[in-house]
Structure 1
Amino acid sequence: MSMEESETLPLIVFDTQGFESEEAYWQWQQNMAPLFDAQVDAESRHCFSASAEVYLAEHCVVSTSQYSEQTFERDRYWSEQYDPEHLVVQLYFRGGFSGLSAGKGITVKPGDIAVLDLRYHLKTRDQTSDMICIVIPRSVYQSYNGKQADLTSMVIPAKHPLAHQIADLLKRLWSELPVLHAELANNLLNQNLERLLDYLTMAQRQIRGTQKSHKQQKKEQILALIEANLSSDNLSVTTLASASHVSRSTIYRLFEEDGGLAGYIQKRRLEKCYRLIEQGYSGKLTDIATDWGFTDHSHFSARFKKIFSMTPSELRRQATQVLGQQGVIAGADSCTEVQDWLLSL
């Protein structure tokens, strides 16, 4: 990754080409860290690729990126480590994603505008994608003319009239930033941020007027409760039914397509264990199993291997090797350029 310095806005250029597969994945993960925990399946890392150009502006970050299929997540533990409450606005030219954001199911296709609210849990499965993104600190959008509208996660479909206006604005900004002096570029962005936020506020009001199916609303409510209480010993159909005022039988039916409620919760907990081990968890594996509700270690190991095709011990050995190599990756320190800017906004 390199940082180009001139009289234009600071520009970060990143490309995994030339890196070994594990190095490419690690570099990408580090750059995404203040926003998301980027996850690539172990069997897909040998062919992983990503590239990005990132302009570091006074009050926002504007970028284009292309990347292979992966998962992005932002949970309570990630938010405690990286706490920016930014809004992320994305225009997808290719690919897209589906998942959960701010307690709601979310699906994005080419031409759609995605707005992600980083105050809340998020987990999406992204296809191989190509998109423009602008990251806006919450304090910035609230400062415009005293606006206090509570923008949150949503999708503006490509066919929506405001989606066309937002897409045109983002594409025009991207085409003009490379040729403008930094002061003019910042002025242009500041002028257009207010227009962009007005478009998003209008779109949110219109979209909220379109009601989802009662079944979808119920499931999104239950999913949000599960994510908020995933580490709790008391997480069960009984506590979910009590907190959501949805019957036990209805909850069971809602999760039939996910292999059942218990299976869904167990899979999410195993995914948490996987991420902690992969990131260098130093405690006993039996402790991490117990922390996430697995009292029988042999059962934990067996279920773990069934889902991830390796045991927790095998993953730890692999993670130790990767983390040991990261200290000698050429240019690793440059990953902090984007991180520091995002955290300082």
Structure 2
Amino acid sequence: MNAPPAPGELAREPASGAVLAASRFSTHAQARGEQLIAWRERVGHVVDVVPSRGQIEGGFRGQIDRYAAAGFSFTDCTTDALVLERPVARVSTDRRRDFAFHLYAQGDSGLTTGMRRKRSADETPTRIIAMDMNQPFRVERPACRVLSVFVPQETVDANLPYAESIHGQGLAPHTPLAQLSLAHALALADTLPQLDAAQAAEAMQVAAQLLLAAYRGEARLGERGRAAAQAAVMNQVRRYVDANLHHADLTPSTVVAALQLKRATIYRWFEQEGGLGAYIRHRRLREAADDLVRFPHLLVTEIAYGLGFNSASDFTRAFRRAFGMSPLDMRARALELRRATA
């Protein structure tokens, strides 16, 4: 079941007609005595905040960014210590039936209680924990930054037998899938503001499949888990390449070494791009095209050398092969279009 919109949420609609809802809230602008109350009102459509006199009088720092598309949602939340409850009365009266996977980028999950648990269940705070919104819980957590992926119940049920059994269950933080899930969530927090609805939904689905694969505890990933892991790693590579385009020593070997990945696997995954080397070259050329327009007074040679090309002639030949025109012709055409639309 789709999550209801958060208060104050805005919808962003790209040309495709899909909708990405996005919102931001902070207690910073509130008077000190009103900050915790404002936070309760903000998140109260999902969970109850248990107030303390000290927090009301002393103030409460909290900020949350939320994105939602295609039944999935993602939040990036930083708060002071607080107590959260989702009592059975709330569960019985609202319509929340998704799963919330909390990934702690700073701090940990604190103490989670109020659930049916095995006597042997580990109560140690964890970096990743799953919560079934169809079951009650109480969380006492320290100051933290937590990234949350909300996944529709039908998606979880389709991937996990006895899905309700993962409620309140943490993941061992040092497993490869747990580490990949946290890295992907951190990347989502950085990139979601630039994505359209379709891209955002795909990125959140990848996050969900990584987490579900981790909770399945598969030593060998199933098809969906493998696809999600591949997508997450390839996105990690792409982000690294984009962040280092202006470094002359950026090569396939340096990428693999920096990210500690298996060379043969990464090379195979980028075969459709013509290879990782070809992908790096294409991204540099695409960045050069943007620079030619953004900086019309910058010499072509400066752009070429700044993006790791050995000479202006090598750059011009590669640019012409990629885009069918020289760098100067492309710059002139772009400036004409800009004047025409000014």
Are 1:30 and 2:41 an aligned pair? Answer: yes
Deviation at 1:183, TM superposition (A): 1.9
Select the residue among 105, 115, 140 that pairs with 1:102: 115
5+ residue gaps, structure 1, are 205-345
Deviation at 1:135, TM superposition (A): 1.4
Distance 1:193 1:158, change over 3 A: closer
Distance 1:44 1:185 in 2: 35
* AA matched with 2:179: H
Distance 1:131 1:203, change over 3 A: farther
* AA matched with 1:121: P
Are 1:58 and 2:70 an aligned pair? Answer: yes
Structure 2 equivalent of residue 123 of structure 1: 138
Distance 1:88 1:181, change over 3 A: same
2:170 aligned counterpart, secondary structure: strand
Deviation at 1:98, TM superposition (A): 1.0
Select the residue among 135, 149, 153 that pairs with 1:138: 153
Distance 1:182 1:108, change over 3 A: same
Deviation at 1:143, TM superposition (A): 4.1
Deviation at 1:193, TM superposition (A): 2.6
Distance 1:149 1:66, change over 3 A: same
Deviation at 1:192, TM superposition (A): 4.2
After superposition, the C-alpha distances for 1:313-342 in whole angstroms (9 at most, x for unaligned) are xxxxxxxxxxxxxxxxxxxxxxxxxxxxxx
Deviation at 1:50, TM superposition (A): 0.7
Q: Indicate if the aligned counterparts of 1:24 and 1:48 stay in contact, CA closer than 8 A.
A: yes
1:108 aligned counterpart, secondary structure: coil
Are 1:183 and 2:202 an aligned pair? Answer: no
Deviation at 1:38, TM superposition (A): 0.9
Deviation at 1:166, TM superposition (A): 1.5
Q: Indicate if the aligned counterparts of 1:102 and 1:121 stay in contact, CA closer than 8 A.
A: yes
After superposition, the C-alpha distances for 1:138-172 in whole angstroms (9 at most, x for unaligned) are 1232245xx54424321113233332122122223
Select the residue among 172, 175, 194 that pairs with 2:187: 172
5+ residue gaps, structure 2, are 1-6, 15-19, 220-342
Q: Indicate if the aligned counterparts of 2:36 and 2:55 stay in contact, CA closer than 8 A.
A: no
1:166 aligned counterpart, secondary structure: helix
Q: Indicate if the aligned counterparts of 1:156 and 1:203 stay in contact, CA closer than 8 A.
A: no
In the alignment of these two chains, the number of paired residues is 201
Distance 1:29 1:203 in 2: 38
Q: TM-score, normalised by structure 2?
A: 0.53
Distance 1:35 1:3, change over 3 A: closer
Distance 2:125 2:215 in 1: 16
Distance 1:106 1:135, change over 3 A: farther
Distance 1:106 1:37, change over 3 A: farther
Q: Indicate if the aligned counterparts of 2:63 and 2:79 stay in contact, CA closer than 8 A.
A: yes
Q: Indicate if the aligned counterparts of 1:102 and 1:117 stay in contact, CA closer than 8 A.
A: no
Distance 1:10 1:119, change over 3 A: closer
Distance 1:54 1:45, change over 3 A: same
Alignment identity in percent? 15
Relative contact order, higher structure (CA 8 A, sep 6+): 1
Q: TM-score, normalised by structure 1?
A: 0.52
Q: Indicate if the aligned counterparts of 2:178 and 2:211 stay in contact, CA closer than 8 A.
A: no
